[in-house]
Amino acid sequence: MKHKLLITISTLALTVVACQSKPKELMETASDKPVPPVEKVEKSEAEWKAQLTPEQFRVARKSGTEAANGKVYKQFKEQGAGTYYCVGCNAELFSSNEKFDSRCGWPSFYDPANAKNVKAITDYSGGMVRTEVKCAVCDAHLGHVFKGEGFNTPTDKRYCINGVVLKFVADK
C-alpha cells in the first residue's frame, strides 16, 4: 500500500513540475485551440482593459453592441469550419456547425456548442424584455437570443452574438 502511494505521489509531483517548467507561450500554443479556463474567471476592470481592445471591453464588460454589418461580421461570414471561443477567457462557446446567415448584421448561431459555457439571463435594459447571452465562465456579454422568428433551424432560436467577443479557430 505504501509503495502504491509513493508511486502515485511521485507521478503527481513529476506532472506538476513538468507543467510548471513549460514556458507559458508554449502552453498556450501547444495546439491551435485556446487553453480553456479551469474555473470561473474574475478580473478587475483594469485587468480587463489591459487584456481587451477598447471595443471588446465596451461590448464584453459594459454590455455594449457592436455596429451591424461591420468588418468583424464580414470576416465571420467568410469563416469556414471551426470553433468560436470567448475573447475574455477562451471558453468554448459556439461551433460553425450551428452557424447560419440570419441576415441581421451580427454573427448568428442556432445553438451553443458547449451549453455549460453559455448562459442566458433576462435583460430588462432599453425599455424591453430580452434574453441576454453571457459567457458562463467570465460573465462577458455576448449578445442576445431570440426565439420563434421562423428561421429554418433545428431550434428556431437565433443567438445574435457580437463578433468582437468571439475568437475563431479554424478546424484543421
Render pLDDT for 11-65 as a digit per residue (tens, 0 to 9): 333 333 333 332 332 223 334 667 666 689 999 999 999 999 999 999 999 999 9
Q: Three-state DSSP class for 56? A: helix
- Say what the pTM is: 0.78
Mean pLDDT (whole number) for 119-147? 95
Neighbours of 66 (CB within 10 A): 22
Model pLDDT, residue 4: 41
Model pLDDT, residue 113: 85
Please identify every residue annotated as catalytic: 160
- DSSP code per residue over 22-46: S-HHHHHHSSSSPPPPSS-----HH
Q: Residues of the chain with pLDDT > 70: what percent?
A: 78
Distance CA 135, CA 8 (A): 36
Model pLDDT, residue 36: 63
Model pLDDT, residue 126: 85
